[in-house]
A and B are shown apart, each in its own frame.
Chain A
Amino acid sequence: MNAQQDTKISARNVNVYYGEKHAIKDVSVEIADKTVTAFIGPSGCGKSTFLRCINRMNDTIDIARVTGDILIDGEDITDPRVDPVQLRAKVGMVFQKPNPFPKSIYDNVAYGPKIHGLARNKSDLDEIVERALRRGAIWDEVKDRLQEPGTGLSGGQQQRLCIARAVATEPEVLLMDEPCSALDPIATAQVEELIDELRQSYSVVIVTHSMQQAARVSQKTAFFHLGNMVEYGETDRIFTNPEDPRTESYISGRIG
């Protein structure tokens, strides 16, 4: 694994406060392009909060306050000139619970490209939808029923549909917030396989509860504990030879 890939996201001294609560404490991290980076840690350690900083989803929470710089391709996304709507087209997100729109499968995927004006006409849009569904590894299962509601799919299919929806807007970064926590082992395996393929085109950041999952899909791993980023490095090394005693306690099951 090449450790010296281009840096895609660079976070410097990021702090997040929810009202009085100091949720993220001075986190700095460099996330590489075309890599899967996993955030692991016990519940409430701030890994999801940090993930949501990267596409400014925390803006939607009134009491959340973010300080520090987050750079994507060298541009500070916390700069007031940055429109979060434009940012989120570039940084896609997949949520913990599959959340397809209560619309047809086709409309679910087509929605993003439509509002961003990515398609000039219907055949363009058809093409984008097919490409996204293929990338979401769900095309073969739904190609005959694109007009059926997305909510009628099984949980695993819904989650892959959500991934297809996220990649349809041609993002450069894909954020995944525990994408498999609501799925059964078979669906999880399918999604993990998909994540590995997505690495070819995107910088993927995944938050996960499962250390096995982090070990299976990621090249880099960051361990969060009580709002601090305790350790960050190659996945193999974190799991085999952690430097910090807290990391070791966590991966060996003593805390968390």
Chain B
Amino acid sequence: MTKSLYSADARTKRRNAAERRFKAYGAAAIGIAMVALVILLTSVVTQGIGAFRQTYITVDVPLPEAKLDKSGTRDMAVMSKVTTIGYAPLLRDGLVNAIAEAGIQTDLSEKEIGDLISKEAAATVRNRVLAHPDLIGQPERFSLLADGRIDGYFKGRVTMASAALDQNTSPEKLDLADKLRDAGIMQIKFNWAFLTAPDASDQRPEAAGLGVAILGSLYMMIVVLVLALPIGVAASIYLEEFAPKNRWTDVIEVNIANLAAVPSIVYGILGLAIFINFMQFNQSSPLVGGMVLALMTLPTIIISTRAALKAVPPSIRDAALGVGASKMQSVFHHVLPLAAPGILTGTIIGLAQALGETAPLLLIGMVAFVRDYPEAYSSATGLFGDPSTALPVQIYNWTQRADPAFVERAQGAIITLLVFLLIMNTVAIVLRRRFERRW
């Protein structure tokens, strides 16, 4: 009796069921991964987006000559004797005047009103005055950072209830802040300073920024690129195209693969021992950080470059050798251009990995608190020799601080880091698309 094709037999049914199950497992795995990613991103973005917005107080600050320049000659030596402690009352006066002008009623004392202004603001005003001494004499309009607690109040981090228990602020101050905001004296603006300003001390989270960390990371990426790309590509070309295939090259190959799996903190210890203790480079410097990260990135670049070289069909090498090109000509004229997209992708992925690396930098002292922007070159410290921090280390640093305002900063820094990584990966994809050629 012949079986009908219209009904599946038991065996076929079992096979189809197995296939359906397998597809379901795959879809479930992707679903779980997507949910995890969405939760992660939502959490980071909702907590971190606040770091990109900041509360400012816009007031006219009186700049009396009697206080700021006792000599009256705009002599820098005299003017710079007035410290931020001398400026703080002026800022307070400016705010008190503005409150009076707006007709806002408050029971707070002048000193308490002054607490609404960030302690960082006096330094901002002082720097501006010292840079432009002609401002002295008449009131000048300034956008002053508001205190971190006030900023936190508008972002929902500080409540009336928590303020009542907080010795750094009070419900009355928050009440005044509400009124100031209604009067337009206090505004929330996009916080460029978060990307440009240096780190700030524990008491003034509102002033903390990523400027130094971004510069430090940029310098390190330059060092990594300059060291790891040529060394990695040269090593790969030699190993792949020129080196004899024998026991020694096998040993080297296995070890390169092993190096890629070495925990990054080990590279940090290596950098500490060799670059700082033995070679006496400056600690905390982007140069040392970059060299350590370059060592760490080398295996990634070598492995991906070798894979890219291997992917070039041997017929291209034969063709070049067949018309009488030397080995080196065949590699540099034909093989390398074809492998370039793969090499570029590998390099950028290696760089992205280096950009996000924290552990080795902790060991070479890049976890330090740095307020001064590092110079790319200075005669005292040499190339990339100034102390600096890096983006991931800054995140680590901020999560260690007590004030919850720093948690927001840390999440904001994570967003910044992710944006940089996203940009680098996009560049990798675009370069790949552009240079990819078919043969």
Q: Chain A: residues with CB nearer than 8 A to chain B?
A: 55, 57, 60, 62, 85-86, 88-89, 92-95, 97, 99-102, 111-112, 115-116, 151, 162, 165-166, 168-169
Q: Does B383 contact A (CB under 8 A)?
A: no
Kindly provide the distance from the CB of B338 to the nearest chain A CB, expressed in whole angstroms: 7
Query: In the assembly, what is the distance between CA of A92 and CA of B319, in Å?
Result: 10
Residues of A within 8 A of B265 (CB): none
B139 at the interface (CB under 8 A from A): no
Contact A86–B316 (Cβ < 8 Å)? no
For B334, what are the chain A residues with a Cβ–Cβ distance below 8 Å? 101
Q: Which of A88, A92, A97, A168 has the most CB of B within 10 A?
A: A88
Per a CB cutoff under 8 Å, which of A62, A85, A94, A162 touches B324? A85
Q: List 22 A-B contacts (CB under 8 A).
A: A55-B322, A57-B322, A60-B317, A62-B245, A85-B325, A86-B324, A88-B322, A88-B324, A89-B323, A92-B323, A95-B322, A97-B315, A99-B315, A99-B316, A101-B320, A102-B316, A102-B438, A111-B333, A115-B333, A151-B438, A165-B323, A168-B323
With contacts A57-B321, A88-B322 known, is A102 near B315, CB below 8 A?
Answer: no
Interface contact tally, CB-CB below 8 A = 67
Assess the A89–B319 pair: CB atoms within 8 A. no
Which of A55, A85, A112: most chain B Cβ within 10 A?
Answer: A85
Q: Would B324 and A102 count as touching, CB distance under 8 A? A: no
Contact with A along B160-200 (1 / 0, CB 8 A): 00000000000000000000000000000000000000000
Question: In the complex, which residue of chain B has the Cβ closest to the Cβ of A97?
Answer: B315
Q: Are A102 and B437 in contact, with the CB atoms below 8 A? A: yes
User: Which single member of B245, B315, B329, B333 contacts A95 (CB below 8 Å)?
Assistant: B315
Q: Provide the residues of chain A in CB contact with B326, threshold 8 Å.
A: 85
Q: Which 9 A-B pairs have the closest CB atoms?
A: A89-B324, A112-B323, A99-B315, A93-B322, A88-B324, A99-B319, A102-B439, A85-B326, A102-B437
Known A-B contacts A99-B315, A102-B338; the reply to A166 vs B439 at CB < 8 A is no
Q: Which of B245, B323, B338 has the most CB of A within 10 A?
A: B323
CB of A111 within 8 A of CB of B439, answer: no
Q: Across the interface, which residues of B come within 8 angstroms of A95, CB to CB?
A: 315, 318-319, 322
Q: Which residues of B contact A101 (CB under 8 A)?
A: 316, 319-320, 334
With A and B bound together, what is the CA distance between A97 and B315 in angstroms? 8
How many angstroms from the CA of A100 to the CA of B316 in the assembled complex? Answer: 8
Partner of A92, one of B315, B320, B322, B329: B322
In the assembly, what is the distance between CA of A88 and CA of B330, in Å? 13
A102 to B336, CA, bound (A): 12
Cα(A195)–Cα(B329), bound, Å: 29
User: What distance in Å separates the Cβ of B435 from its nearest Cβ neighbour in chain A?
Assistant: 11
Chain B residues with CB under 8 Å of A168's CB are 323
Question: Are B338 and A115 in touch, CB under 8 angstroms?
Answer: no
Residue of B nearest to A107 (CB): B333
Q: Decide: A115 near B324, CB < 8 A? Known: A60-B317, A99-B315, A99-B318.
A: yes
Contact call A57/B318, Cβ cutoff below 8 A: yes
* Residue of chain B at shortest CB distance from A88: B324
A60-B318, A86-B324, A100-B319 known, 19 other contacts, Cβ within 8 Å: A57-B321, A60-B321, A85-B324, A88-B321, A92-B322, A93-B318, A95-B319, A99-B316, A102-B437, A111-B333, A112-B325, A115-B324, A115-B325, A116-B324, A151-B439, A162-B319, A166-B322, A169-B323, A169-B324
Q: How far is the CA of A95 from the CA of B317 in the complex (A)?
A: 12
Q: Does B137 contact A (CB under 8 A)?
A: no
Q: A97-B315, A101-B316 are in contact. Are A115 and B322 (CB under 8 A)?
A: no
A115-B437 in contact given A88-B323, A99-B316 (Cβ < 8 Å): no
Smallest beta-carbon distance A23→chain B, Å: 18
Which has the most chain A C-beta neighbours within 10 Å: B315, B322, B334?
Answer: B322
CB distance from A221 to the nearest CB of B (A): 24
Q: Which residues of A sit under 8 angstroms from B323, Cβ to Cβ?
A: 88-89, 92, 111-112, 115, 165-166, 168-169
Alpha-carbon distance between A115 and B438 when the two chains are bound, in angstroms: 24
Give the chain B neighbours of A165 by CB distance below 8 A: 319, 323
- Closest chain-A Cβ to B436's Cβ sits at a distance in Å of 11
Residue of chain A at shortest CB distance from B437: A102
Which residue of chain B has the shortest Cβ distance to A162 in the bound complex?
A: B319
The residues of A that contact B315 with a CB separation of less than 8 Å are 95, 97, 99
Which residues in chain B, 298-319, are within 8 Å of chain A measured between CB atoms? 313, 315-319
Which chain B residues border A169 with CB–CB below 8 Å? Answer: 323-324
Closest CB in chain A relative to B339 CB, distance in Å: 12
The residues of B that contact A97 with a CB separation of less than 8 Å are 315
Which chain B residue lies CB-closest to A89? Answer: B324
CB-defined interface of B208-252 with A at 8 Å, one 1/0 digit per residue? 000000000000000000000000000000000000110000000
- How far is A113 from B329 in the complex, measured between Cα atoms in Å? 13
Q: Counting chain A CB atoms within 10 Å of each CB, which of B313, B316, B318, B320 scores highest? A: B318
Chain B min CB distance to A103 (Å): 9
Q: How far is the CA of A89 from the CA of B322 in the complex (A)?
A: 8
The docked-state distance in angstroms from the alpha carbon of A214 to that of B280 is 73
Query: Do residues A112 and B316 form an inter-chain contact, with CB atoms below 8 A?
Result: no
A112 touches B324 (CB 8 A): yes
Chain B residues within an 8 Å CB radius of A62: 244-245
**CB contact list, B20-76 vs A, under 8 A:** none
- Chain B's closest residue to A111 (CB) is B323
State the CA gap A85–B437 with chains docked (Å).
Answer: 27
Complex Cα–Cα for A88 and B325 (A): 8
CB distance from A60 to the nearest CB of B (A): 6
Give the residues in chain A near B244, CB-CB below 8 Å.
62
Give the CA-CA distance A97 to B322 in the complex, in Å.
13
A57→B326 CA distance, assembly (Å): 12
Cα distance A55–B316 in the bound complex, in angstroms: 17
* Min distance, Cβ B21 to any Cβ of chain A, angstroms: 43
Closest partner residue, chain A, to B337 (CB atom): A102
